[in-house]
A = this chain, B = another copy of it.
Amino acid sequence: MSVQAPLRVLLADDERMVRTALRAILGAEPDMEVVGEAATGAEAVPLIRELRPDIVLMDVRMPEIDGIRATEQVLAGMSGPPRIIVVTTFENDAYVYEALRAGASGFLLKRSGAEELVQAVRLVARCDSLLFPAAVRALAASHAGRRAADDAARTLRARLSEREQAVLRLMTSGLANAEIAARLGVGPATVKTHVAAVLAKLGVRDRTQAVIAAYECGFVRPG
């Protein structure tokens, strides 16, 4: 149950060393697999269409077609497109904004540590929210944010069975397992099973993290 299919990641960066480094970091994670590399935006777009990775780490500055445009093209021309994390060196607000407008699911700085990178990939894969550098949070209120959140909620709904969604919803109401069982008219053991499934599918440790994920994904909305 914990050994789901690994996350298939594609790297798009013009610097070979960066790609090597990313591959090393992500390859060390048992649940991730780098399925392809591209050195330019023009290379990346068809490769992504062919390989259909779960996640793309997309550099902003690339020859021929930059990362923002490549993101646009990928998202425009695919059904069930991958989640794209835009990677850049500088905290340039314009880039962040454009990346969001283009439909990127995440934004990451190259100076980020390995741990942060891995976390970001997992989080985006889990619910494709866009909440990494603080800079993004401020902008998230705009259109791009809403669209991405709705999108996230949809994919989350798709991944969870109906019963699991119901359980998650009740979890986000602060109910304990026994209370959820009473509400749904099933046994406590059944609820435990569903909760375990939700935790596994969301890739989280406990119910608190599940509730957080539900909020961050827009699966539930705060008042």
Contact = CB atoms under 8 A, between A and B. Distances in A.
Interface in A169-189: 171-174, 176
Contacts of A149: 222-223
A35 interface: no
Interface stretch (A54-62, A85-93, A201-209): A201-209
A131 interface: yes
A158 B31 CA distance: 42
B174 A221 contact: no
A216 interface: yes
A149 B221 CA distance: 13
A172 B207 CA distance: 12
A222 B218 contact: yes
A170 to B, nearest CB: 11
Nearest to A132: B223
Contact of A145 (B131, B140, B223): B223
Contacts of A205: 174, 176
A97 interface: no
A51 interface: no
Contact of A216 (B136, B204, B223): B223
A167 to B, nearest CB: 13
Contact of A223 (B129, B172, B223): B129
A207 B222 CA distance: 17
A16 interface: no
Most B Cβ at <10 Å: residue of A136, A145, A211, A223 = A223
Interface of A: 129-131, 136-137, 140, 145, 149, 171-174, 176, 204-209, 211-212, 215-216, 218, 221-223
